[in-house]
A and B are shown apart, each in its own frame.
Chain A
């Protein structure tokens, strides 16, 4: 009974942290299940994917109601994230736990560095640089398919690069049990010229399909443990709801610093696991 409650609490903590830092939670759930609960990495990835779908559906409902997410663009890009996730879900069973741990260590390091740099950088200048770059790239040809994918106040550019980035995001998601927002949001915002708020909302919506493509493979191959996935997903859902309500009252800078430290620690642990030390 205690283990079930601790899983619930762990999921809730990941949900709160994820929500406050704009992450799906997978990046926290996999190390939690692996290092704290001793689950094999592949099982942790499978459980994480289920939790990621829950947070995606819950947040996509809100974003679509507010018309913040771009449904049309999301539909097009998720065809490519789903394809990447299909391949990743199959490849994951060919890789050893050590290789997966090495990949996860690399991802954790990347996320920690990105988060650290984001905390030091002034947000407005980064956003305006991206917007300026997007304007420089020119608008899509009138009447073209790409031209129909824009939204209120912006046009979509460089669709082929967005498609390629989406395939990569799908691969990362399926192999490591994360949402892939760490790839999708920068691709949409910096490369395709989509405003950051819309890119974040659209990425959140797309994560559901990306994760489902590979979660189905894990499910049919007997890798999803409902006794672990149930409490974890429930905790993540509750935690994400709490996080969205307290976000305005929390000092995100301190939270980000704690997150970076936790990520670096997890990256080292994953690297040691990869090296079998």
Chain B
């Protein structure tokens, strides 16, 4: 297989290495932050004796998260941790897109933009369906 490698592949892989290191740091730090938030939320939940299987799903509202955090409510920490979890892959795509654009790789930058658009379409579709 090694004989079949093209110079295009070599230059492409070399350009991606710097972006990969940046993205790796972002994912590692982001995941740790998310898990710390979730850990605090689970701790508060257990301390308050909340039974996850008997408690109704709290409605999701970004606007109420800051107040829940300040009031040290479990759902504030849980929702923010879960949002950070879901934001990490999106952040990875955005950072990679900027990295590819800066490296002059317009095609990969466009692909990154399209991935973000598909994710945006998910949000719009979910809201459009009465979410």
Contacts and interface: CB of A to CB of B under 8 A. Distances in A.
B62 to A, nearest CB: 11
| Residue of A56, A209, A221 contacting most chain B CB atoms (<10 Å) | A209
Contact of B129 (A93, A156, A195, A211): A93
Contacts of B30: 57
Contacts of A224: 57, 60, 82
A222 B28 contact: no
A75 interface: yes
Contact of B31 (A57, A156, A230): A57
Given A53-B86, A83-B118, A154-B1, A142 B17 contact: no
B122 to A, nearest CB: 5
A180 to B, nearest CB: 13
Majority secondary structure, A binding face: helix
| Residue of B2, B39, B57 contacting most chain A CB atoms (<10 Å) | B57
Majority secondary structure, B binding face: helix
B27 A61 contact: yes
B46 A1 contact: yes
A205 to B, nearest CB: 8
7 contacts: A3-B53, A60-B92, A62-B28, A65-B24, A212-B86, A221-B130, A230-B42
B31 A58 contact: yes
Interface residues of A, number: 84
A37 B12 CA distance: 47
A212 B115 CA distance: 11
A213 B88 CA distance: 12
A222 B41 contact: no
Interface string A62-82: 111101011110011011001
Contacts of A230: 38, 41-42, 45, 52, 74, 78, 81-82
Contacts of B100: 75
A161 B101 CA distance: 27
Given A72-B108, A147-B6, A155-B4, A216 B123 contact: yes
Contacts of A105: none
A139 B75 CA distance: 53
A64 B46 CA distance: 35
B8 A142 contact: yes
Interface string A1-24: 111110110000000000000000
Contacts of B13: 70, 72, 150-152
A240 B45 CA distance: 23
B70 interface: no
B31 A150 contact: no
A254 interface: no
A221 B131 contact: yes
Interface string B69-110: 000001100110110011011101100100010000001100
Contacts of A70: 13, 16
Contacts of A188: none
Contacts of A122: none
Contact of B2 (A72, A153, A217): A153
Interface stretch (A111-119, A231-239, A263-271): A231-239
Given A155-B5, A230-B78, A209 B89 contact: yes
A225 B27 CA distance: 24
Interface in B8-23: 8-13, 16-17, 19-21, 23
B64 to A, nearest CB: 12
A226 interface: yes
Interface string A181-201: 000000000000101000000
